[in-house]
């Protein structure tokens, strides 16, 4: 795909947003807020700021519907991006370089500054055409999604300002699809971050000491990683399963020890576990307990994060929200593949509060590069995504009144 000769205004705006360094650990949130406030003025729409934590502000741009009593549509995106290893990038990750093929490189090109601008430009297009819809449309721009969302959407959904938005249905981010199709996510795996502590007898490194922390740790590692291998095999042997359908386990930290010649009194291992909504969480935690008991006396575990909500959004043909979304995509000749999201997004907090939400980023024919080196999005794919949202937003905002809304 060749690049376009001159940047269209939407592409220029996208590249401008990519240049704002909202990268952890010190994201320029002030720069992003000023950028979004400017866009609200351009659109002629009111902008509200809600500080959910000190230094953590959510921006909401609202396009009021003709019947504001109806439940609204939420278009959510996060403003922060993950760190980069610049030595592995072919271009400056914050320069938004566009190459001869029209590929735009930058941290956040896929995750998810593209979607933010696609929302904005779709709204701009619809307003310029004089369109108006019964349901109110809210665009929310939230911080800290990339570090767990606790100082962003997780807090916001519990506040009165969120309840006042009167949400009926939400859209949030998805993933790119390397094929011609598009992936839609109707649920997410729960995130468990577990640390296992293995106490043992200390002593001099020259002796065969009994009941050491290392012996217990080895048993812990074997139990967790043997289970990991079983799930990996199950995924690889089934054509029906996707990554979101199995439980992943990854060792992320090993801690302990004071000197090379001292057997430590404690060693710790931490794991990142992602559990699909089909798994019985109590049964799975009971299995962790057994693994720790089998490892030896005194082995204990604790959670650094423990998601327990297993809510999924309906993708039944009878569901009015899904019917509107999927039928619109069908009219656009878009082939959809429905999956459980393998990682975690702010959608999980929205669903946990009882609101249906779909994860969707209109990026096909695109390698999945979120959090990777040389993250890019082709401008033609980006521009096509605007047209897709310009069809989806009206369809969702005109869903007829549902039971209890009139």
Among 111, 121, 144, 145, the active-site one is 145
Report the C-alpha gap between 37 and 61 in whole angstroms.
9
Q: Can you tell me which residue has the tokens 């959004």?
A: 313
Total residues found in the chain within this entry: 406
User: How far apart, in Å, are the Cα atoms of 251 and each of 222, 246, 247, 323?
Assistant: 11, 17, 14, 41
Q: Following DSSP, what letter does each residue of 100-168 receive, concatenated?
A: TT-EEE-TTTTTTHHHHHHHHHHHHHHHHTT---SS-EEEEEES-GGGTSTTTHHHHTTSHHHHTT-EE
The answer to whether residue 80 is catalytic is yes
122-126-129 Cα angle (round to 5): 145
Sheet-wide strand order for 190-199: 248-256, 266-275, 190-199, 300-306
Report the C-alpha gap between 296 and 216 in whole angstroms.
6
CB atoms within 10 A of CB 83: 12
Left (φ > 0), alpha (ψ -120 to 50) or beta: where does 243 sit?
alpha
Report the C-alpha gap between 23 and 29 in whole angstroms.
9
Among 80, 111, 146, 173, the active-site one is 80
The answer to whether residue 372 is catalytic is no
Report the C-alpha gap between 64 and 215 in whole angstroms.
63
Q: Kindly give the pairing relationship between strand 137-142 and strand 182-188.
A: unpaired
Residue 383 token pair = 């521009």
Give catalytic residue positions.
Answer: 80, 145
């Amino acid at each position: 795909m060749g690049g376009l000769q001159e940047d269209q205004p939407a592409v220029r705006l996208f590249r401008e947003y990519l240049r704002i360094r909202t990268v952890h650990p010190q994201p320029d949130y002030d720069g992003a807020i000023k950028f979004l406030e400017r866009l609200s003025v351009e659109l002629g729409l009111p902008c509200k700021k809600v500080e959910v934590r000190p230094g953590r502000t959510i921006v909401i741009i609202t396009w009021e519907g003709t019947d504001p009593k109806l439940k609204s549509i939420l278009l959510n995106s996060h403003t922060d991006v993950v760190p980069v290893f610049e030595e592995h990038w072919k271009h400056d990750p914050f320069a938004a370089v566009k190459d001869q093929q029209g590929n735009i490189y930058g941290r956040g090109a896929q995750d998810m500054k593209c979607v933010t601008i696609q929302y904005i430009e779709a709204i701009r297009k619809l307003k310029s055409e004089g369109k108006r819809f019964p349901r109110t449309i809210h665009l929310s721009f939230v911080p800290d999604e990339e570090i767990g969302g606790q100082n962003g959407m997780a807090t916001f959904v519990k506040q009165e300002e969120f309840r006042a938005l009167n949400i009926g249905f939400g859209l949030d981010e998805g993933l790119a699809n390397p094929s011609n199709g598009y992936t839609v996510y109707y649920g997410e795996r729960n995130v468990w971050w577990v640390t296992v502590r293995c106490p043992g007898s200390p002593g001099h490194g020259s002796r065969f000491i009994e009941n050491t922390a290392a012996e217990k740790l080895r048993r812990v590692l074997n139990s967790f990683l043997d289970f990991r291998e079983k799930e990996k095999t199950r995924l690889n042997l089934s054509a029906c399963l996707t990554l979101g359908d199995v439980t992943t386990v990854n060792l992320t930290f090993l801690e302990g020890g004071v000197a090379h010649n001292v057997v430590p009194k404690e060693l710790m291992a931490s794991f990142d576990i992602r559990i699909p909504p089909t798994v019985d969480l109590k049964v799975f935690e009971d299995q962790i307990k057994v693994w720790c008991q089998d490892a030896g006396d005194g082995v204990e575990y604790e959670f650094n994060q423990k998601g327990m909500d297993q809510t999924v959004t309906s993708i039944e043909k009878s569901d009015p929200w899904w019917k509107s979304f999927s039928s619109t995509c069908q009219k656009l000749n878009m082939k959809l593949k429905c999956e459980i999201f393998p990682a975690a997004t702010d959608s999980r907090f929205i669903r946990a509060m009882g609101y249906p939400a779909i994860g969707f980023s209109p990026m096909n024919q695109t390698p999945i590069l979120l959090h990777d080196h040389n993250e890019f999005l082709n401008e033609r794919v980006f521009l096509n995504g605007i047209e897709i949202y310009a069809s989806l937003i009206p369809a969702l905002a005109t869903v007829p009144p549902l039971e209890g809304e009139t």
